[in-house]
Structure 1
Amino acid sequence: MPAPQRVSAPELVAAIRSIAERDGIDAVTMSAVAAAVGVRAPSLYKRAANRHELLRLAADDAASELGTEIAAIAASTDDPHAVLAGTAHALRALAARSPHVTTLLFCAPDPAINPTPELVAPIMANLLEAVSAIAPDDPLSAARTLTAWAYGFCMMEQNGGFRQGGDVDAAFERGLDSVLRGIRA
């Protein structure tokens, strides 16, 4: 009998994300992922006990991806405004690449799917540090405002919510500028 095929963690996560983006979060099942990586479903139990853990792997990967981008932005400038604008742009870029998986970062259908707190912590640290430089009295509320606006804009954009015409990129920039001015006020 041949030895079972081994699947690397990056291959597994890529398959999960591919299925989620192509067919939706509900299509991520143990059997669908196993078929995508060329193994039998029981082989996946070494990496994930259930479907929620598969989705958490995708959420963790997206959080890590976003965290890396935001850390690079924060390391490249001392300007908190640039860090916050860069954060919003990084989130928008992630949502454009992976709208379904991005949803897991903010609206996971089950708490067991939420990204690992240790992967979200660096994102929050960079965000709160930049916001604190602009709005030291209430940085958490300001960070939540920016995040909610940016995520909401991204989801409307991905779902075709901007049907009135006009330049959506310009609208994003105008909205971002308005939110950042509000945070500074």
Structure 2
Amino acid sequence: MPAPLRVSQERLVHAIREIAERDGIDAVTMSSVASAVGMRTPSLYKRAAHRHDLLRLAAGDAVRELMTDISELPAHDSAGALTVLARTLRAYAARAPRVSALIFAAPSAQADPTPASAEPLLTALMTAIAAAVPGDPLPAARTFTAWIFGFCTMEQAGAFRLGGDVDEAFEFGLDALLGAIGARRG
């Protein structure tokens, strides 16, 4: 009898992400992922208890990839850091629209990035917000995140149908958001 195929974590995550981006989050199933990596579905259950574990792997990988983008950004004043962070989040959402949605809106808590994998992104966001706004940064961070995620979700869905320049709308919205949350200009 041949030895079971060994699938690296990297290959498994790549397959999950590829299926999600190509066919949608709902297409990430135990059988679709097992097939993509050349293993039998029962063997995959040794690595993940259910599909939400698979989505959690993809979400954690998305955070890691996004943090690589963020860590390569030059230093800015506090409002400038938020501007660059917003633009980086938008660029990432354009590059990986379905998997990036798992970071902010996974289909269940079981599919959310683990607290350990999400922590670097949350720290970067809270640090940038705390440096830019007076008072408790949590409401501002929630508002900032919700606006960016909402904008990106609408943009990826092609929901901006009123004409005009979507890039211009993003910059206008970002300026309005920074003013609304009271971001101090450096």
Give me the TM-score of the superposition, normalised by structure 2: 0.92
Say whether residues 1:110 and 2:101 are aligned partners: no
Cα distance in 2 for partners of 1:55, 1:100 equals 11
Q: Which of 93, 96, 108 lines up with 1:95 in the alignment?
A: 93
Q: What's the offset of the Cα at 1:136? A: 2.7
Give the gaps of 5 or more residues in structure 2. Answer: none
Q: Which of 162, 166, 169 lines up with 2:167 in the alignment?
A: 169
Q: Give 1:145's aligned residue.
A: 143
Q: Give 2:5's aligned residue.
A: 5
Query: For residue 123 of structure 1, what is the amino acid of its counterpart?
Result: L
Cα distance in 2 for partners of 1:59, 1:138 equals 27
Q: Is the contact made by 1:71 and 1:123 (CA closer than 8 Å) also made in structure 2?
A: no
Task: Flag the structure with higher helix content.
Answer: 1
- 1:113-167 Cα deviation digits (max 9, x unpaired): 1111112222121222221122131211111111111110000000111011111
Cα distance in 1 for partners of 2:132, 2:41 equals 50
- 1:16-44 Cα deviation digits (max 9, x unpaired): 01111111111111110011111111221
Q: What's the offset of the Cα at 1:85? A: 1.3
Q: Is the contact made by 1:70 and 1:90 (CA closer than 8 Å) also made in structure 2?
A: yes
- Stretches of 4+ aligned residues off by more than 6 angstroms: none
Give the gaps of 5 or more residues in structure 1. Answer: none
Q: Is the contact made by 1:30 and 1:41 (CA closer than 8 Å) also made in structure 2?
A: yes
Cα distance in 2 for partners of 1:107, 1:123 equals 15
Cα distance in 1 for partners of 2:112, 2:163 equals 35
Q: Once structures 1 and 2 are overlaid, which stretch shifts more, 84-93 or 53-62?
A: 84-93
Q: Once structures 1 and 2 are overlaid, which stretch shifts more, 103-112 or 146-155?
A: 103-112
- 1:68-112 Cα deviation digits (max 9, x unpaired): 322333xx2141222211211121122112222122112211111
Two-structure CA RMSD over aligned residues (Å): 1.5
Q: Give 2:19's aligned residue.
A: 19
Give me the TM-score of the superposition, normalised by structure 1: 0.92
